[in-house]
């Protein structure tokens, strides 16, 4: 959800020690930002940052890049993340449609946490698991393609199963009720914590090709 009317948000985002403002300059050269050859994982639509922050803290040998479109949302994440100095976490403010212009065969894993389900049929191409986006991802994956998605929306989940399987992805893990499954050490988003308290089922899939 987009947050509004936070004065000075753009300036505060741009001044963060974790933000990369000239991100297109590093296309194909993201390892130089991290100064290592560790795997790079991205979260598209990182929201308020809880998920990617916990991952970066728990996995220092993996580099993380959080992508968020809105300054107001990114600002909330930055307030949390800038309490730390993390060499393995960077943030980008951009639209997901730009990713082909930002990365070039250098991403190992994509996280899609509670993406917009775009309910109307005419908007289905905007879904982050639409064939249009899956084709974009081909340009940024380094070698093997790996996507992990969580959603509370059953229709989006079923749609994603169809598009991913038709595009050649193999399912490694799938859950219709993540928090009542045998999967351990689950890192949650802010939305996810809210949904858990409301008793909503969380759908999860992990695929590769």
Integer Cα distance of 122 and 194 in angstroms: 29
pTM of the model: 0.94
| pLDDT at residue 45, as a whole number | 96
List the end-to-end C-alpha distance of the chain, in Å, as a whole number.
31
Report the 10 Å Cβ neighbour count for 81.
27
- Please determine, for residue 4, whether its predicted confidence score (pLDDT) is greater than 60: no
Could you report the per-residue pLDDT of 56-83, keeping only the tens digit for each? 999 999 999 999 999 989 999 999 999 9
pLDDT of residue 7: 66
Would the pLDDT of 1 be above 90?
no
Q: Is pLDDT of 120 > 90?
A: no
Task: Grade residue 122 by pLDDT with cuts at 50, 70 and 90.
Answer: confident
Q: Which one from 116, 132, 138, 172 is the annotated catalytic residue? A: 116
116 among known catalytic residues: yes
* Domains detected in the chain: 9-208 (3.40.50.150)
Percent with pLDDT over 90 in the chain:
87
pLDDT of residue 5: 52
């Amino acid at each position: 959800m987009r947050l509004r009317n936070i004065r000075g948000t753009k300036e505060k985002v741009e001044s963060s020690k974790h933000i990369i403002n000239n991100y297109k300059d590093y296309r194909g050269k993201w390892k130089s930002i991290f100064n290592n050859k560790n795997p790079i994982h991205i979260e598209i639509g990182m929201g308020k940052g809880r998920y990617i922050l916990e991952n970066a803290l728990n996995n220092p040998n993996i580099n993380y890049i959080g992508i968020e479109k809105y300054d107001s949302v990114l600002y909330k994440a930055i307030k949390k993340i800038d309490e730390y100095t993390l060499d393995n976490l960077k943030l980008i403010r951009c639209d997901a449609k730009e990713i082909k212009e930002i990365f070039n065969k250098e991403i190992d894993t994509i996280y899609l946490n509670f993406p917009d389900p775009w309910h109307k049929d005419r908007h289905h191409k905007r879904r982050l698991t639409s064939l249009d986006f899956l084709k974009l991802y081909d340009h940024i994956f380094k070698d093997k393609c790996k996507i992990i998605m969580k959603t509370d929306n059953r229709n989006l989940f079923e749609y994603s199963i169809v598009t991913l399987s038709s595009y050649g992805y193999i399912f490694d893990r799938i859950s219709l009720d993540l928090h009542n499954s045998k999967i351990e050490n689950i890192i949650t988003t802010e939305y996810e914590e809210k949904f858990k308290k409301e008793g909503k089922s969380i759908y999860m899939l992990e695929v590769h090709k």
